[in-house]
Amino acid sequence: VSLHDGDGRKRGRVLVLCTGGTLTMAPDPSQNGALSPVEGAVTTYMKEMKELLNESMPEVVVHEYTPFYDSSDLGPCDWAVLA
């Protein structure tokens, strides 16, 4: 059975759930340019990735949680909420 059987879609889809952490690090002007978690950073990075515009690449949907979570503080109950 085709993944997109009957829905008319040609491209696959990928959901990126961002809870914070390393991928969100960017120079923070409020911290004199020091790296810190910046909301919206992952979305910005993904929009700048021109290779994702290629039709052979999947459609990417990014969801960034607010506020960010420290993954070392997350457990099974949190994972269930995120899922």
Read off the pLDDT of residues 26-79 as tens digits, 9 standing for 90 and up: 888 888 988 888 888 889 999 999 999 898 898 899 998 888 877 777 889 988
Helix (DSSP H) and strand (DSSP E) numbers for the chain:
2, 4
Is a pLDDT exceeding 80 seen at residue 1?
Answer: no
State the DSSP H helix or E strand holding residue 36, giving kind and residue range, or none if neither: strand 35-37
Higher pLDDT, 6 or 82: 82
Structure confidence at residue 81 as a pLDDT band (50, 70, 90) = confident
CA distance 9 to 11: 6
CA distance 34 to 52: 29
Pick the closest to residue 57 from 49, 48, 65, 67 (CA basis).
49
Instruction: Note the pTM of the prediction, 2 decimals.
Output: 0.67
